[in-house]
Amino acid sequence: MNQTKSFSLFTDFDIDLFKAGKHFQLYEKLGAHPLTVDGVEGVYFAVWAPSARTVSVIGDFNYWVQGENQLFVRWDSSGIWEGFIPNVKAGTRYKFKIQSHNGLITEKADPFAFYCEMPPNTASIVWKHNYKWKDDAWMKKRAKVNQLNQPFSVYEVHLGSWRRPGDGRKFLNYEELGDQLVEYVLETGFTHVEFMPVMEYPYDPSWGYQLVGYFAPTSRFGNPDQFALLVDKLHQAGIGVILDWVPSHFPDDAHGLGFFDGSHLYEHPDRRKGYHPDWKSLVFNYGRNEVRSFLISNAIFWLQQFHVDGLRVDAVASMLYLDYSRKDGEWEPNIFGGRENLETISFLKDFNEAVYSNFDGVQTIAEESTAFPMVSRPTFAGGLGFGMKWMMGWMHDTLQYFKKETVYRKYHQNDLTFSMTYAFSENFMLPLSHDEVVYGKHSILGRMVGDEWQRFANLRLLYGYMFTHPGTKLLFMGAEFGQSSEWNFEGSLDWHLLQFGYHSGIKATITALNKLYKSEPALHEKQFSPEGFEWINYSDHQNAVLSYIRKGENAKDDLVIVCNMTPVVRPGYRIGVPAKGKLKELFNSDQLAYGGSGVVNDKAIKIDDQAWDGRAQSAAVNLPPLGVAVFKISK
């Protein structure tokens, strides 16, 4: 029998930081760490369990017997139990068995485990990270390519249902995903991928948003080194990687964080703050310093250990408001009588400051669905400190507009123009995400009106409008080729649709728009600045036409965009333009190659000295039916 030996990786300074909520590399101390002590190989175990009377490590090495390997509690009231167990090796399964002072016994997975058993099994696995990275070129340049004045075209992916193997296995593994996803993202031209949560989760229908193993890539697709290989392959291809991160809530599974040591350790003890009624899950106690250290360490871990380029933070609105999804009497105001969760606000600021002060070229992105102010403004200016925020209002208004029959669109022009009244109040990312293609909402294609040709033309128009609207872009997998059905996490995307012309035309449209977004400075250099946008005419509601200018650092890069929201072809449609010369068409969503009818401007258009739209010059262009045309001024 291997007796537990007293040993510690913690210094007094570590403990001080932990108690202060400022230890952001706890994963180097807590958890299971293979090492050599006095010439003997084994594993150092450490766990935070301040309400415990005893803590034992149970696992393959002691036949899962409680008491065989008890840990030692530290003397400093930190609540940390630790010890070194000789001859335990990487790959060993284990859990912590905790006897509380109230007599309750819990059997828990390691909150800091780097690797977990394949669900539905629930044990943690000792793991030592050994991956040798080959992404030096990417890491050196990402501080430039991930700046806010650079193109961010994000492909949102659920790894379990993007593509299935077809050989009887349920999933592609990380290595196969690396090969196939890299090829596809390069082909379609996205700059980044965003993975829905890859941290270990027990329940497939949660899509990964109910996390248990916060420090472990899910074992569904392989081990942690294989996940690192996936990220590495994307980086070597020049593709950034963003992870969904869920600090908002966690499930109450018996082996998880809930009631961890017989007390409300990670969750808030007041049910009004510690329980989420929508998701029937537990909410972190953001006012507890040790919990803040846990969460911020987790964010730092993915950025440090797996070279991740950004974190999209899920459900921020649910964190910010004490009354979120709660009725009167189910919440308590803050000390100022307001409904804002002051502890959350403080935590989010600390999180963003820790991320941006420790890493160059990373971004944090908030999924925040309300008008909470200054989400993407620096903390020193009073903001929450995120780099970007999802533009949920734009998404909602735009999809509502495109559901309307075209004959009625002239009455609803404001659905599209309203976004420009607040477009620069935050650094907005325009999302058409997984949330918009589930629960009876239909696919994005399914929202489009008209006959078959019009539905696909509307979709191309929507994407053209999206890519020329200020802000960065996010598109959920399948939408890039016009997936017909709602997303089903239990199956693959309908890749067979690409054999049909209209669907392959949508993919060609997205490919062209990604190329345009990346190659034209006017579409990204000032995407968060009012200086980067100017209306030409937003009031031609009778024809349901919008025209506007996108601007870069140099006037020579300016683009003129015209959107025709009806199926009526409009030859010789006159628009005011900002300079003399000729208009050259760079993109037209009605090209035959995209499945359109071919109403394009294939020759340069002379700009006339005819005043129009309040400008001294104008030009007559051919407007495609349900189409968007993008022009550049040349001499």
- What is the per-residue pLDDT across 279-325, written as a single tens digit (0 to 9) for each? 999 999 999 999 999 999 999 999 999 999 999 999 999 999 999 99
Q: Mean pLDDT over all residues of the chain?
A: 96
Domain 12-125: top CATH class: mainly beta
CA atoms within 13 A on the CB side of 227: 26
pLDDT at 2: 83
Q: What is the pLDDT of residue 592?
A: 98
Residue 479 has what pLDDT?
98
Residue 1's pLDDT band (cuts 50, 70, 90) = low
In the chain, ranges of CATH 2.60.40.10 domains: 12-125
Q: What is the pLDDT of residue 356?
A: 98
Q: Decide: 163 and 172 in contact? Cβ < 8 Å.
A: yes
Q: What is the pLDDT of residue 166?
A: 83
Residue 590 neighbours by CB under 8 Å, 6+ apart: 457, 460, 596, 597, 598, 599, 600, 624, 625, 626, 627, 629
Phi, psi for residue 28 in degrees, rounded to 5? -85, -10
Q: What is the pTM of this model?
A: 0.97
Kindly state the average pLDDT of the residues 501-505.
97
Catalytic positions? 314, 367
Q: What is the mean pLDDT of residues 553-572?
A: 97
Q: Where are the alpha helices (DSSP H) in 171-223?
A: 174-188
pLDDT of residue 139: 97
Q: What is the pLDDT of residues 11-20, one digit of tens each?
A: 999 999 999 9
> Does the 154-390 domain belong in CATH 3.20.20.80?
yes
536 has a pLDDT exceeding 80: yes
Residue whose token pair is 């993008």: 630
Please state, in angstroms and rounded to a whole number, the distance separating the CA atoms of residues 223 and 213.
13
Yes or no: say if 236 and 135 are a contact pair by the CB < 8 Å rule: yes
Cis peptide, bond prior to residue 120, ω within 30 of zero: yes
| Amino acid at residue number 414 | N
Longest dimension (CA), the chain: 93
pLDDT band, very low/low/confident/very high, at 63 (cuts 50, 70, 90):
very high
Short-list 538, 489, 520, CA closest to 585: 520
Residues across the chain: 635
Residues of the chain with pLDDT > 90, as a percent, come to 97
How much is the pLDDT for 66?
Answer: 87
User: Cβ(172)–Cβ(160) under 8 Å?
Assistant: no
Which stretches within 99-173 are classed as H helix?
A: 136-145
In the chain, pLDDT over 70 holds for what percent of residues?
A: 100
DSSP code at position 6: -
pLDDT of residue 168: 85
Range list for CATH 3.20.20.80 in the chain: 154-390
One CATH from 3.40.50.2300, 2.60.40.1180, 3.10.20.90, 3.50.50.60 for 530-634 = 2.60.40.1180
- Residue located via tokens 């996940």: 227
The yes-or-no verdict on residue 388 having pLDDT over 90 is yes
